[in-house]
Amino acid sequence: MKVTQTKLSGAMVFEPKVFGDERGFFMETWNQQRYKEAGLDVTFVQSNLSKSAKGVLRGLHFQNPNPQGKLVQILTGEVFDVAVDIRQGSPTFGQWHGEILTGDNHKQFYIPEGFAHGFCVLSETAIFSYMCTNLYSPKDETSLIWNDASIGIEWPISRPSLSAKDANALRLSDIPSKKLPVFMP
């Protein structure tokens, strides 16, 4: 398995070994021991699946308290997936990393606890799979606006389809500090 560390501490891209031939392919999507040896020592407690149409942008979401780390991957289709470091005191606070994930490249992106996460769909549809380190807690969730100029994410779309929640999300500077996670070196 190939592991790439991003510029954001704890955010990693995994490229699992894929064994394939003319019949199809096989790959491990999670092996706790193997991922721990690769630097990801977490326990997942919830697994989710979503399907979205082209142009849909979901996010940027985070929970605090009860933050969620997420190991995300695409089963079919293509997305631009983004993590934003929103941990107060982090040397990379307000910085982002984006990754193209597809059903063909089999990449997985780990977004650590304390980060906002979102993605936009580039293909006609995409099936998005992710495992979480904490249970979903609606009362702890906050949405960060997708086009916050202070963050400057270079989204590959300019007019996404958004939920009402995401269309009315807050800029990073408008989120009360008590709602933001704190960096723990």
Strand 12-15 to 19-21 pairing: unpaired
* Separation of alpha carbons 119 and 90, rounded Å: 23
Structure token digits, residue 61: 């979401």
Catalytic center residues: 61, 130
Instruction: Name the strands in the sheet holding 70-76, side by side, starting at the edge strand that comes first in the sequence.
Output: 2-5, 12-15, 108-111, 70-76, 125-132, 46-53
- Displacement of CA 172 from its chain's centroid (Å): 17
* Separation of alpha carbons 64 and 141, rounded Å: 7
